[in-house]
Amino acid sequence: MSFLRIGDTVINTNHITTIKVSSDNYHINMLGGSPKGFFSGNWIFSSGNLYTENNSILVSKAHYKEGYDIVSKWLLDNNLGGH
């Protein structure tokens, strides 16, 4: 298994279904069937903002540059592109 840490959240990368890449955001979609409430609502971390809703995660460059850079590096390390 592979994991990706974004702020205080650790994601099992095997549960990522798609990542929509835009110029300033990564929208990460996760498999359904997560424990109830695991990916719902808005979570705010001291190091930035990571928004989650309905098994998806939005990592915004403007609101959470550190998290955006983490996802960018993970995409590049896995030969998936990134910014």
pLDDT digits (tens, 9 = 90+) for 38-64: 443 444 444 455 555 568 889 999 999
Question: Residue written as tokens 């971390």?
Answer: 45
Q: 33 burial class (0-12, 13-18, 19+ CB within 10 angstroms)?
A: exposed
Residue 75: the pLDDT is: 93
SS3 43: strand
pLDDT of 49: 53
Residue 24 near residue 72 (C-beta atoms within 8 A): no
- Full-model pTM: 0.71
